[in-house]
Each structure stands twice: as structure tokens, then as C-alpha cells.
């Protein structure tokens, strides 16, 4: 049976074999604890080990299988203190997938056994990710560890909480999934947009709903009866989605927020510019202009800035770097494609990873902020994260350095240093929640 995180807030304890090293006194059993054993995926887990020999070197390993059976794993090497204990809140890792004090390092350093896989939760309502934590004596480098496990523990990482509802949306042209928090509401409304992968991605929307927002995860191509390929951006589709969300009895009026990444952030910024319903926009590593496909809204058409395939580069991993592939919005020839951000009535938060290898997102955000200032506007600000890559996701999500994309024959390079990227995800998630609460919440008692 499945136990939801708010129901089970107990400490997971694994007790295994006795330490057999001779001693004058009876040694305690080795215990590995992880608290809470079941929690939302954006909550930290406190990992401790007791009952080790003083200063004993050990390997802690984490592993999980996604819904397709792909294996992700991580490991780090630790030394017990003088009383045979480890506390990942305080104890540094000496080596492995990270170095130093990182309480959640085993989670954010998970990497795929098969190259270029991205960890994505599909079924956000009915099952968690099950992460197995194993403790081994000494330092273990082998892919397959034959040593006996000293202690083991399983942690559940959920993407929805008790009472949260998922409503499939097929109204008019709009396709997606609406996540509603428990309670009567009304709740602040948010539209969640992902990028060029297409389809419907729900894990961020469900986590935001668990934090008190009514969130529409919106598909816009390659899903159900929507177009299989993105050939143009029809802004009226996104306006229809905004009106649908605002018309829901559990959604606060008069305005909604948008959270968006990559191609979705280009669309999210266009929504901020042209749709009066949008009062708060989060733009994660996107553009400030229209690229690849035209944008249409009523009788307006914005033509895209050219792209240059000869500027694509190949990374040592074999993935393709698109950072320099797009034309420059500040080029005089491209001015007609730049979004009129000065028309945006609401607040805009630009979240930028400086090691984004897919887009020159820092430059695009700086151009957008300069454009706002030159029109006397101060409704935008930027969070700049050194070492973070393109796919900035909720906290403790593993870095996806590169992964396949249906539009290219080679995997796309997203970039990022694992530890710096993890720090960016943890900090930015707190800022995202604060931003939406500040700009969307009318009555704080509702959250």
C-alpha cells in the first residue's frame, strides 16, 4: 500500500549485522537512518549512521529506477567520527560523486547508468520515486559491489501530497492537467510551461500545488490531439488556457502567474507582454525574442530571428551545444523579433544559469532588463547562478547534463556543474515560492 508523505513522517531506521571487530565491550549495531522516510521531493532528508568503528571509512550509495526501468545512482566516501557516527548535515564527503558537506548530495548527484538519460517523474499522483540508500565498509569504486551491505534504507520521494487533486483538462483547444491543493480555495493560479521536448510534464506543477497553488501543467504540442510538431506559437491558445484557469471556481482572480523554462520561457515572456491575465512571470533560461517559429496573436505576427546550424558545437561527451546557434536579438536586423517587454504589466523574475550550454540566457535576460529600464520600468529582476546549467528544476533533482531531443539527431547539451547546479535549484525554488506568494496571493490565510 502507498503511504503519502504527510501521513508517514516517521524516521526510517535500518538495523543490520553487528560490527564483528574485537572489542573489550559490546559494540552497538550499525544503524542507517533517513528522516523523513517519506516526504515531498522538494523536502530535505537527514541521513545519519551510528554504530561504526571510530574513524571507519565507508561508502554511502543511493540508487533508484525510474518508471522506464532506467537506473540512476550515486556514491560518496565518508569517515566516521571518534564515536563511530556520521551525520551528513555536518560530516564532509572525502570523495565519490561530490566532496564536502552536502546533506542532500546523494540525491542531487544521482546520474544515469545509461548515458544521456533525464530523470523525469511521469506518474506524479500514485507512486513516489523509491531511493535505496546502502552503506558499505571501506571505499568502493566498483560498478557492481560484491561487499556485504552493512545497512540499507529506502526513502520515498513524492510529487503530490494528501488531498491534492489532478484534473485532466480537455476543454476547447486546451490540453493539460490541473492540480488543485486540498481545501476550498480560492488559490493563486499558475500556468506551467516546459520547452522543446513537447508533451505534458507534470512534476513541477504538482509540487507547486502541494505548496498551495492551483497549477495548470499546459501541453502545447506533441500531446493527444495537439500538433505533433511545433510550427508556430499561437498566443491565443495560451490566452484560452489563462481564461480557463481564471474561470475555475477554486482559482483567485483577477490575474495568474506563469512559470516557464527554455522554449516555454520564450512563450511565457510573450504572455507577460501581451496577455493582461498574466501578472507574475518566472522565466528560467529562455530568450527575450522570438526564435525558430513565428508567433501569432490576433492580427499580429512576429517573425523569428534566424538560427545558424554552422555555429553548433560538439561537446566531448558527444552532445550538441546550441549556446551560439541563435542570432543576436540586439542585431539591428532582428529588432522586429524582440518581445516588447516594456508592455508587460506584471512582475518578471529571470532565473539564469551561467553555465547554460543550450542558450545564451544570461545575455537574453540582461537585454530584457536593459529594455525595461530604458522605458522607465522596474518590474523585472534577475537571479544569476554561477555554475548552474539550463535545466534548473525543483531542489534535489539530479543535474541533467545532456539528453536526447526529438528535433536533433544528437543529444542536446544543457550544461552545469552538479554542486553549483544543486545550490541554484535549492535557492531558486524558495525564491519562486516567495515571488508567486508576493504577487499572486490576496489572502495569505488561504495558503
Residue 424: its H or E element: helix 418-440
Sheet with 300-302, edge to edge strand ranges? 233-234, 295-297, 300-302
Give the CA-trace dihedral at 393, 396, 398, 404, to 10 degrees. -20
Known catalytic membership, residue 262:
yes
Known catalytic membership, residue 25:
no
Give the CA-trace dihedral at 34, 40, 43, 46, to 10 degrees. 0
The Cα diameter of the chain in Å comes to: 86
Q: Give 158's DSSP letter.
A: E
Known catalytic membership, residue 361:
no
| Best CA proximity match to 438, nearest among 362, 384, 381, 365 | 381
Distance (Å, rounded) from C-alpha 63 to C-alpha 112? 10
Among 390, 397, 428, 439, the active-site one is 390
Among 160, 260, 262, 347, the active-site one is 262
| Best CA proximity match to 348, nearest among 220, 414, 257 | 257
Is the Cβ–Cβ distance between 294 and 234 less than 8 Å? no
The residues that bridge with 205 in the sheet, in sequence order, are: none
Which residues have CB under 8 Å from 440's CB, separation 6+? 188, 189, 190, 213, 252, 255, 256, 257, 279, 280
Active-site positions read: 262, 356, 390
Amino acid at each position: 500500500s502507498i503511504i503519502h508523505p504527510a501521513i508517514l513522517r516517521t524516521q526510517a531506521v535500518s538495523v543490520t549485522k553487528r560490527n564483528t571487530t574485537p572489542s573489550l565491550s559490546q559494540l552497538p549495531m550499525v544503524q542507517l537512518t533517513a528522516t523523513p522516510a517519506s516526504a515531498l521531493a522538494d523536502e530535505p532528508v537527514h541521513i545519519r549512521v551510528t554504530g561504526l568503528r571510530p574513524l571507519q571509512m565507508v561508502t554511502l550509495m543511493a540508487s533508484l529506477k525510474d518508471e522506464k526501468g532506467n537506473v540512476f545512482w550515486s556514491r560518496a566516501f565518508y569517515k566516521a567520527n571518534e564515536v563511530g557516527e556520521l551525520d551528513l548535515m555536518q560530516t564532509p564527503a572525502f570523495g565519490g560523486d561530490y566532496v564536502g558537506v552536502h546533506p542532500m548530495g546523494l540525491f542531487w548527484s544521482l546520474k544515469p547508468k545509461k548515458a544521456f538519460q533525464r530523470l523525469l517523474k511521469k506518474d506524479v499522483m500514485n507512486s513516489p520515486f523509491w531511493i535505496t540508500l546502502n552503506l558499505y565498509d571501506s571505499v568502493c569504486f566498483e560498478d557492481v559491489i560484491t561487499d556485504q551491505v552493512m545497512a540499507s534504507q529506502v526513502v520515498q520521494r513524492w510529487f503530490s501530497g494528501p488531498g491534492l487533486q489532478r484534473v485532466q483538462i480537455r476543454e476547447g483547444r486546451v490540453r493539460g492537467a490541473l492540480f488543485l491543493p486540498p481545501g476550498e480555495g480560492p488559490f493563486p493560479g499558475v500556468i506551467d510551461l516546459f520547452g522543446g521536448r513537447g508533451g505534458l510534464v507534470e512534476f513541477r506543477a504538482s509540487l507547486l500545488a502541494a505548496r498551495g497553488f492551483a497549477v495548470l501543467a499546459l501541453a502545447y504540442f506533441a500531446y493527444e490531439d495537439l500538433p505533433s510538431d511545433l510550427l508556430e506559437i499561437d498566443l491565443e491558445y495560451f490566452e484560452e488556457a489563462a481564461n480557463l484557469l481564471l474561470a475555475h471556481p477554486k482559482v483567485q482572480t483577477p490575474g495568474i502567474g506563469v512559470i516557464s523554462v527554455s522554449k516555454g520561457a520564450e512563450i511565457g515572456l510573450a504572455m507577460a507582454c501581451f496577455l493582461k491575465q498574466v501578472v507574475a512571470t518566472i522565466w528560467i533560461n529562455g530568450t527575450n525574442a522570438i526564435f525558430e517559429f513565428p508567433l501569432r496573436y490576433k492580427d499580429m505576427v512576429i517573425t523569428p530571428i534566424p538560427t545558424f546550424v554552422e555555429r553548433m558545437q560538439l561537446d566531448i561527451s558527444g552532445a550538441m551545444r546550441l549556446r551560439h546557434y541563435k542570432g543576436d536579438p540586439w542585431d539591428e536586423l532582428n529588432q522586429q523579433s524582440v518581445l516588447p517587454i516594456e508592455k508587460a504589466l506584471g512582475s518578471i523574475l529571470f532565473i539564469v544559469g551561467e553555465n547554460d550550454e543550450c542558450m545564451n540566457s544570461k545575455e537574453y535576460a540582461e537585454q530584457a532588463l536593459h529594455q525595461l529600464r530604458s522605458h522607465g520600468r522596474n518590474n523585472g529582476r534577475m537571479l544569476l547562478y554561477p555554475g548552474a546549467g539550463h535545466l534548473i528544476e525543483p531542489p534535489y533533482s539530479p543535474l541533467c547534463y545532456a539528453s536526447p531531443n526529438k528535433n536533433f539527431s544528437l543529444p542536446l547539451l544543457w550544461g552545469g556543474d552538479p554542486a553549483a547546479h544543486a545550490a541554484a535549484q535549492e535557492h531558486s525554488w524558495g525564491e519562486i515560492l516567495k515571488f508567486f506568494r508576493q504577487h499572486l496571493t490576496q489572502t495569505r490565510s488561504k495558503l
